């Protein structure tokens, strides 16, 4: 009976190329707790996990949870700063591009939040705050214009 060798390098490379994303990015704290419980349930009774290892894994779970809360808080602070900046542009004339890439010049009428992003309402156009390229001086006499790219 003949056997053929298994090429582990090829199978590992194909597995890596098929998952371009980080597979761990979607894991949450509950996933790590479930893995710890499974590890404890399936441990070798002759060589059990030490208390130090359990404490280390538990502290890592806590660190992940703390980092997740910190990221949420920082994103909220960033949105608050962006809304404050956007509000300061009300009644100012700006130059920027809308989400479609069209050039927009005009006076900011109001500010809205769309998908966690501060958006300036200029006439009938909406310009994300990050797309503002210029703030014109007061009394520049610019009216709202929308130019396709």
- pLDDT tens for 63-76 read 888 998 999 999 99
Average pLDDT over residues 136-141: 74
Residue 101 — pLDDT band, cuts 50, 70, 90? Answer: very high
What is the helix (H) or strand (E) element at residue 59, kind and residue range? helix 51-88
Could you tell me if 5 and 34 are in contact, meaning their C-beta atoms sit under 8 angstroms apart? no
pTM for the model: 0.58
- Of residues 48 and 112, which shows the higher confidence score? 112
pLDDT digits (tens, 9 = 90+) for 103-122: 999 999 999 998 889 999 99
Nearest to 98 by CA among 57, 63, 147, 138: 147
Q: Is 63 exposed, middle or buried (0-12, 13-18, 19+ CB in 10 A)?
A: exposed
Q: Is 62 exposed, middle or buried (0-12, 13-18, 19+ CB in 10 A)?
A: exposed
- Of residues 69 and 144, which shows the higher confidence score? 69
């Amino acid at each position: 009976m003949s056997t053929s060798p298994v090429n582990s390098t090829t199978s590992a490379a194909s597995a890596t190329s098929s998952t371009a994303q980080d597979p761990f990015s979607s894991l949450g704290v509950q996933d790590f707790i479930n893995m710890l419980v499974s590890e404890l349930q399936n441990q070798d009774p002759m060589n059990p996990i030490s208390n130090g290892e359990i404490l280390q894994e538990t502290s890592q779970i806590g660190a992940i949870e703390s980092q997740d809360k910190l990221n949420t808080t920082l994103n909220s602070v960033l949105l608050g700063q962006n809304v404050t900046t956007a509000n300061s542009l009300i009644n100012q004339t700006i130059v920027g591009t809308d989400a479609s890439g069209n050039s927009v010049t005009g006076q900011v009428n109001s500010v809205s939040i769309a998908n966690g992003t501060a958006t300036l309402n200029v006439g009938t156009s909406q310009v994300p705050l990050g797309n503002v390229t210029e703030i014109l001086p007061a009394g520049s006499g610019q009216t709202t214009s929308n130019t396709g790219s």
